[in-house]
Amino acid sequence: MDDTELTDDTGPADEIEFTDDDSTLSAYWHDRMLDHEPPAGAFKFPRTPIVAVDEPHPDRRERVENLKRMLERAFPERARFETATRATRGEIERVHDPDYVGWLESFCADGGGRIGDTTTGANEATFDAARYAAGTAVRAARDAVDGSDAIPYALCRPSGHHAQSDRADGFCFLNNVAVAAAAAVAGGVERVAIVDWDVHHCNGTQEIFEAREDVLVVSAHHDHGSWHPEYHPQEGTLDEVGTGDGEGYNVNVPLPPGTGDRGYERLFERIVEPVVREYDPELILVSAGQDAGAADPNGRNLVTRAGFRTLGHRIRRLAADVADDRLALVQEGGYQQSHLSFATLGVFEGVLGHTVDLERYGTDDPFDWLDEPTDLVNSWIDDAVEYHSDYWPLD
């Protein structure tokens, strides 16, 4: 092939073994998701007279176009694309208020625009694009449950994990991973674990499932708190553990700015893996936002291609151990459109157990240039371990 060469090097976590070294990937996609276009301005914010040239909104179509190209070039023998269908209203309304769904459809049909004073905006195509995005996630989860030979990947745009049951937020309109999890439960799955490594708190997923014990939500994110009193009231703090029957099944792990490869591996060792193993899910869904990457303008963490490779290794091994390899990945954020390809390449190198030797770049990450504050990161993880030990066997 022109630009890449597959090798058998498994990178920094080569001690991890897989049951199938010939693993393949099914990526669910529809071109309609490219037609969603939020308003331009000053990055994600409204335009201002002190900026001469408006900038495309960070949720630009090039993000997912690059991801599609990355899969085609990096894994030509392993990745196949399948056309998604729209999520049905019934699937969507398992987790979203029908009045909100109707409002969103009408808002987009009228041309869209910014939603209130937020950074989230839509155009006339957004509702349809969001239905396709949710549909990719439903299909990915269904294929994982059915024991697909290929790892299912929902290449979603727009993302979903900030969308709450009755409102849009954080560039998200329908909560793709929540729609998928609810569909799996409706189909007979008793326990679903959602692992969210997007750098932003999955406040929408938390809100939707906070009173339920059949869906575990584990989120590692910046300690950014609430960014809007109406549209994003959740804080993402340790003490948001769920309510009623769901108490303990929402596991928030705030991380300090600068958390990198070592910090995320420690996060998996000390919290993600022991919690998920104890929960013993039948299906693992990953909200795979790679905006914890070293160059992301909408995050401040330092995870590299190698770090994401390790996350991919570990989540695949975890799914093989506890969920009979029933694993699906759902695309969330990542806003430096070039590094997103390197970071997501790392994820799938880990998931598939094969590292790609890129011409000019090898197996490295050209965006890797800072080291992380290890002692600070470890102290925050220690705090999370102590807090969640009330609910889970952590040490």
CA proximity to 369, closest of 209, 252, 263, 258: 258
What secondary structure letter does DSSP report for 168? -
Left (φ > 0), alpha (ψ -120 to 50) or beta: where does 236 sit? left
Tell me whether residue 19 is exposed, middle or buried, using C-beta atoms within 10 angstroms of its C-beta: 0 to 12, 13 to 18, 19 or more: exposed
Name the pTM for this structure.
0.95
The values of phi and psi at residue 98, to 5°, are -55, -35
**pLDDT confidence of residue 22:** 87
Instruction: Measure the CA angle with vertex 308, ends 305 and 312; round to 5°.
Output: 135
Catalytic status, residue 57:
no
Q: Quote the CA–CA distance of 4 and 359 in Å, as a whole number.
A: 6
Mean pLDDT in consecutive groups of 10 residues from the start of the chain, 395 residues: 39 42 93 98 97 97 98 97 97 98 98 97 98 98 96 98 98 99 98 98 98 98 95 97 98 98 98 98 98 96 98 98 98 98 98 96 96 96 98 97
**pLDDT confidence of residue 319:** 98
Q: End-to-end distance of the chain based on CA atoms, in angstroms? A: 47
CA proximity to 208, closest of 141, 160, 156: 160
Would you say 306 and 11 are in contact if contact means Cβ atoms under 8 Å apart?
Answer: yes
**pLDDT confidence of residue 21:** 63
Would you say 141 and 183 are in contact if contact means Cβ atoms under 8 Å apart?
Answer: yes
Q: What is the pLDDT of residues 66-118, one digit of tens each?
A: 999 999 999 999 999 999 999 999 999 999 999 999 999 999 999 999 999 99
Q: Spot the catalytic one: 30, 96, 161, 162.
A: 162
Domain 4-388 sits in CATH at 3.40.800.20
Domain ranges for the chain, please list them: 4-388
What secondary structure letter does DSSP report for 380? H
Burial code of 306-329, b = ≥16 C-beta within 10 A, e = fewer?
A: bbbbbbbbbbbbbbbebbebbbbb
Q: What is the pLDDT of residues 175-222, one digit of tens each?
A: 999 999 999 999 999 999 999 999 999 999 999 999 999 999 999 999
